[in-house]
Structure 1
Amino acid sequence: MRSAVRRLKRWLYLGHRWLGIATCVLFGIWFVSGVVMMYVAFPNFTISERRAALPDLAWSRVALSPDQAMAAAGLSRYPRELRLTMLDGEPVYRILDWKGPRQTISAVTGHAITGITTGQALAVARHHPAAVAPRLLGTVDRDQWSVTARYDPDRPLVLVDVGDAAGTELYVSSRSGEIVLDTTQHERVWNWLGAIPHWIYLTVLRRDAPLWRQVVIWISGICMVTAVSGLWIGLLRSGLRRRYAGERVTPYRGWMAWHHIVGLVAGVVVLTWMFSGWLSMNPFGWFAGRGDRSEALQRYAGHDAPTFTVALPARERPGVVEARFVWVDGAPLLVLAHRDGSQSVVDPVSGAAVALPEDRLFAAAVRLLPGAVLTLQQRLDQPDLYWYTHHQQRLLPVLRVGFDDPAQSWVYVDPATGEIIGWSDRSARVRRWLFNALHSFDLPPLIAYRPAWDIVVIVLSLAGLLISASGIVIGWRRLTR
């Protein structure tokens, strides 16, 4: 037995030594890039940014009703999304069906718009708030910033430099004419030190999503084994109960001592970061997928036929850049989005402002899951542990509805517009604690006090970097002998 234990210990030490040599550089990159990501996110184009880049709706030019636009799109049922917006100087309907592709229908002629010219892309870019002297940079099919599959329906993309001091570049869909992404020089530079190395987000790899996922799972899994073995060895070699000479807790000197002591102190955090990062890729399908919720959303809308009776405004409304035609509890609503980010809800026939009673929205939400019992209905005026604004934009106030279905679903409703803006289940809430809490440190005492969160995460990252740096020095000395 003693011989077997000695043999296992030897393999433990050898395994950690060579795995550490192979992975310590990756550990160091992850700790540095993680701090960068605290302040510079990967480029994204939010809804508020999209609306800020739109011209005012030209109501006087709208010749087609929503019904006619849906007929031109060949729809047999009400779509998932129907909105009226501008394509430069032309009003258009943007339609997203439940299963089909997005369609753009001219609100002037009724013709389907399936492509735009580079000149039209430049005209669209001129409405961006940062536009100074837009110039065409070319057409790209896929690059570092537009590599993910979400942009596939919009490819190829027209790349436009708006000519501002920030070096803002816009990606305009050559199919729909919408701006789908913007980046700045600041984002492009810092992401090479942040998200790209942290997520192993190289274009050549990320363009193949299944391969990229497997690479990240295996690399993070190997690094997790390295962290486990290092923590185990650190405890075996520690002098916490029986001190070494000079009352030392480590038998090592120099870089080895730093590696040992800091590893003992911060090793658990390093391990949880590796474990939660590995879990973020959903290995073995442990976390449930989103699933198809189209039927539930249609039941909530209370309407299925491709009709929407509306009296479009006869005069212009300054600041209104988008109109959404929605159904809630069997009633049609016209949601007007303003450039400043605000929204107003009006009756589509009378044009009068509409206030939605919360009890009506709760009653309509029951139809989302007709086979389940309503177990929760509450209004959130402040963030809580599951609906919070740290790292992300969250609308408040919001209504939350819970069900006793097998997934223990929670649904979030915008009380102003009645629209479903979030959907959570037990799997997502478990992931919140296993990933957001362990990896992003979204912990209750910290998410409410941003400076405290910054200090804690940076200090722990520096400790992890010291473990990595000492491992790099030790590994280099080992290899050069």
Structure 2
Amino acid sequence: MQSVVRRGKRWLYLGHRWLGIAGCLLFAMWFISGVVMMYVAFPHLDKQERWAALPDLAWQRVTLSPDQAMQAAGLQHYPRELRLVMLDTEPVYRLLDWRGQRTTVSAIDGRKIDQVSADQALGIARHHPAAAAPRLIETVDRDQWSVTSRYDPFRPLYLIGLGDAAGTELYVGSRGGEIVLDTTRGERVWNWLGAIPHWIYFTVLRQDGPLWRQVVLWVSGVLMLVAISGIWIGLLRAGLRRRYASGRVTPYRGWMAWHHIAGLIGGVVVLTWMFSGWLSMNPGEAFARRGESRDMLQRYAGHDAPTIADRLPATAMPGVVEARFVWIGSTPLMLVAHRDGRQTLIDPQSGAPTRLPEDAIVAAAARLLPDAAIVLRQRLDRYDVYWYQHHRQRVLPVLRVGFDDPAATWVHLDPATGELLGRSDTSARSYRWLFNALHSFDLPVLLAWRPAWDLLVIVLSLAGLVISISGVVIGWRRLLR
């Protein structure tokens, strides 16, 4: 039995030693890049940025009604999305059907706009608030910033530099002419020290989604074993009950002592971050990621036919950059967006401001799950552990409606507009604790006083960096020998 134990310990030490030589380099990279990601996110275009880049709607030029636009697009059902915006100087309807097919229809003559030229893309870019001297850099099919499949419906993309001091570059889809992404020089530089190494997000790998997922799963899984073995060895070698000479808790000196002590103090945090990062890949599809299905959204709308308004209001609305046409609880609505980020609910026939009573919104939400009853109704005026703002904008106040279905579904709704903002269930709320809380420490008690969160994450990252760098030095010296 003792020989088995000795052999097991030997393999434990050898495994940790040799896997750790390469692993500590990755650990160091993750700790440094994680701190960068606290302040610089991977480039994306949110709706406020999209609205800011649009010119005011030229209502006087719109001759096609929403109903006629859906007819021109050949829709048999009400689309998932119907918006009226400007394409340079021309008003257009943008439609997204339930198969994911996007169609752009001129609001002047009803023609489909499948392609835009480079000159048209430059005209679109000139409306951006940062546009100084726009120029076409190149036409790209896929690059480091547009690598994911979300941009596939718009490819190829025109890459346009705005010539501003921030080095802003826009990606304009050649299909439909929509701005889909923007980056700045600072984002591009810092992301090479942040999200790209942290997520192993290199284009050559990330363009193959399934392969990238497997690489991240296996790399983080193996390094999780390195962390477990390190904690185990650290406890075996620690003089917690019986101290070493001079009262020391470690038998080591120099870098080995740093590695041992730092590992004892921060090893659990390293393991926690590795485990939660591994879970972010949803191994074995353990967490059900349920979005809103077509049937759910159509029940919430209470309308399926491709009709909403056979004419638009005669009154122009200055300062509006987008009009979105929706049904909520069988009520037709027009949600208009202003350049400053405000949204206003309008009656699509009269053009008068309107509102949906909260009871009407909750009644529409009750149709989402017809076989379940509502058992929870809350109006949140402050963020809580499941609805909070951290690296993303979230609406307040918000309505939370819960159901008694087996998944204990919750939905969040905007009481001002009736928009369905998100769905969660028991699985999603468990994931919130196992990934978000463990990996990002996004707890209200910390986020309420932001410097506390920054200080905690940076101090823990520095502890992890000490473990990693000491491991790199130890490994390098052993390799030299």
TM-score, reference length from structure 1: 0.99
Q: Does 1:49 align with 2:54?
A: no
Q: Name the structure 2 match of 1:140.
A: 140
Equivalent residue for 2:128? Answer: 128
More moved, 416-425 vs 67-76: 416-425
Once residues 148 and 202 of structure 1 are traced to their aligned partners in structure 2, the CA distance between those partners, rounded to angstroms, is 11
- Of stretches 93-102 and 273-282 in structure 1, the one that deviates more from structure 2 is 93-102
- Is the 2:69–2:107 contact (alpha carbons within 8 Å) kept by the matching residues of 1? yes
What's the offset of the Cα at 1:351? 2.0
Q: Name the residue aligned to 2:76.
A: 76
Runs of 4+ more than 6 Å apart: none
Post-superposition shift, 1:17? 0.4
Q: Is the 8 A contact 1:157 1:174 kept in 2?
A: yes
- Structure 1 counterpart of 2:394: 394
Alignment of 1:19-98 (within 5 A): 19-98=19-98
Q: Distance in 2 between matches of 1:111 and 1:407?
A: 45
Alpha-carbon distance between aligned partners in 2 of 1:4 and 1:69, rounded to the nearest angstrom: 76
Unpaired runs of 5+ in structure 1? none
- With the length of structure 2 as denominator, give the TM-score of the two structures: 0.99
The residue aligned with 2:449 is: 449
The answer to whether 1:101 aligns with 2:101 is yes
Deviations 1:374-399 (CA, angstroms, capped at 9, x unpaired): 11111111111011011211011111
Matched residue, 2:374: 374
CA distance in structure 1 between the partners assigned to 2:51 and 2:109 by the alignment: 24
Kept after mapping to 2: 8 A contact 1:311/1:350: no
Cα shift at 1:292:
5.8
Match in the other structure for 2:150:
150
How many angstroms apart in 2 are the aligned matches of 1:363 and 1:99?
28
Letter in 2 for 1:465: L
Q: Is 1:283 aligned to residue 283 of structure 2?
A: yes
Contact 1:59 1:313 in 2 (8 A): no
Residue of structure 1 equivalent to 2:241 = 241
Q: Does the residue aligned with 1:439 lie in a helix, a strand or coil?
A: helix
Q: Secondary structure at the match of 2:21?
A: helix
C-alpha distance in structure 2 between counterparts of 1:313 and 1:296, whole Å = 30
Residue aligning to 1:118: 118
Tell me the residue number matched to 2:12.
Answer: 12
CA distance, structure 1, for counterparts of residue 172 and residue 449 of structure 2: 38
Give 1:26's aligned amino acid.
L
1:298 is the counterpart of 2:298: yes
Do residues 314 (structure 1) and 314 (structure 2) align?
Answer: yes
Cα distance in 1, alignment partners of residues 328 and 70 from structure 2: 19
Which is worse superposed, 152-161 or 387-396?
387-396
**Residue 304 of structure 1, CA deviation:** 0.8
Unaligned runs of 5+ in 2: none
- Aligned positions of 1:77-476 closer than 5 A: 77-290=77-290, 293-309=293-309, 311-476=311-476
Deviations 1:68-118 (A, max 9, x none): 100111111111111100000000001011124111011011011100000
Q: What is the identity percentage for the equivalent residue pairs of Structure 1 and Structure 2?
A: 72
CA distance in 1, matches of 2:449, 2:146: 33
- Measure, in 2, the Cα distance between the counterparts of 1:190 and 1:291: 32
Residue 442 of structure 1 deviates from its aligned partner by 1.1
d(CA) in 1 for partners of 2:38, 2:356: 38
Following superposition, the deviation at residue 359 of structure 1 comes to 1.1
Tell me how far apart the structure 2 counterparts of residues 355 and 410 of structure 1 sit (CA, whole Å): 23
Cα deviation code 1:148-207 (max 9, x no counterpart): 000000000000000000000000000010100000000000000000000000000000
In the aligned structure 2, how far is the partner of 1:190 from the partner of 1:289?
Answer: 30
Aligned-partner residue type, residue 270 of structure 2: V
Instruction: Map Cα deviations across residues 226-273 of structure 1 (whole Å, 9 max, x no partner).
Output: 000000000011011111111100000000000000100010000000
User: In angstroms, what is the RMSD of aligned CA positions?
Assistant: 0.9
Counterpart secondary structure, 2:290: coil
CA contact (8 A) 1:172 1:180 kept: yes
